[in-house]
Amino acid sequence: MSFARLREGGPLRKTVILVGLALFTFWSAAPVLWLIISSLLEQKALIAQPPDLSPQNFTLENFSTVLAAAAALGRGIANSLIVSLFSTALALVLGAPAAYALARLPVPRANGIAFLILATQMLPGIAIAIPLFIVISKLGLIDNVLSLGVVYLSFNLPIVIWILRGFFLGIPSGIEKAAAVDGAGIFATFWYIVLPISLPPLSAAAVFAFVEAWNEFFFALILTRQQAQTVPLVIAQFAGQYQTVFGQMMAAAVISVAPVILLAVLFRNQIIRGFADGMMKG
């Protein structure tokens, strides 16, 4: 096989690209497919070596059992929804002005500040878990969904700032100059001109922040007890001391990821366009 022929294009190049895309698609979709299959298998068939995929072993009993105990799962979904929406809204409200200031305003050492903001993501969560628990415990906010949302804000906000800053850097300066000629100040320019043309990156940042908060497990485990438990914690409860009910765990997981998948499908165009704009203009 000649690399020159691959660079020149033609049927060979298209075949290689199609095979690569097919492998990538299978690699990405396989865990989701196995999640769905596992949720429909009986326990004995699922834990068999190898798993018994005979048609008679497929059942909806796992879903019926999970839905019969819908109180815990429903509370977990509601808590996750509150925490995720609260954290995402705060991240956008605080992150969009911060990103605009770092990208368009004469902020001293803006690049250094942006790097420091991103550097906070390099700190492992376990390093701040104990101090954070002590502070929240002293404030009496353990097992509180809003305090959990504020904690999630600490790792959502830097990513939102970076996504939006990359887009704001690419906005033509002529737009702001024209707004200034018409008498618009910094706030008016940001609110009435910049934000309306920034809906794709705003949507991408919002979906990213929402999914991050929805899937978070570590801090939820530390900072909640019963009332504020989120979906990941409810799913983990299917792992008992002597037996893990894998089928029911997978069924609960299928139910819990459905809103996230629906969100990604509905906003897929905005997500792709938002990240593409941010990368090209950043």
User: Does 200 map to a domain?
Assistant: yes
pLDDT at 254: 87
Q: How far apart are CA 163 and CA 117, in angstroms?
A: 12
In this predicted model, what pLDDT tens digit does every residue of 230-279 receive, in sequence order?
988 888 877 665 567 888 888 888 888 888 888 777 777 766 766 665 55
What percent of the chain shows pLDDT beyond 90? 21
Whether pTM > 0.85 for this model: the answer is no
Q: Each residue of 173-199: pLDDT tens digit? A: 888 888 888 888 888 888 888 888 888
What distance in Å separates the CA atoms of residue 78 and residue 271, rounded to the nearest whole number?
A: 25
Asked whether residue 7 is domain-assigned, the answer is no
pLDDT at 282: 47
CATH classification at residue 172: 1.10.3720.10
Q: Kindly indicate the confidence band of residue 80, based on its pLDDT and cuts at 50, 70 and 90.
A: very high
Contacts of 225 (CB under 8 A, 6+ apart): 142, 143
Range from 17-31, 86-100, 193-207, 231-245 carrying the lowest mean pLDDT? 231-245
User: 40 in a domain, yes or no?
Assistant: no
The letter for the amino acid at 98 is A
Look at residue 13 and tell me whether its pLDDT is greater than 80: no
What gap in Å lies between CA 39 and CA 258, rounded to an integer? Answer: 13
Residues 232, 220: contact at Cβ < 8 Å? yes
pLDDT of 250 reads 87
Question: How many residues comprise the chain?
Answer: 282
Residue 13 within a domain: no
Distance of alpha carbon 250 from alpha carbon 62, whole angstroms? 8
Domain count, the chain: 1
Question: Quick one: pLDDT at residue 207?
Answer: 87
- Both tokens of 115, joined, read 């790097």
* Residue 130 forms part of a structural domain: yes
Domain that holds residue 277: 63-281
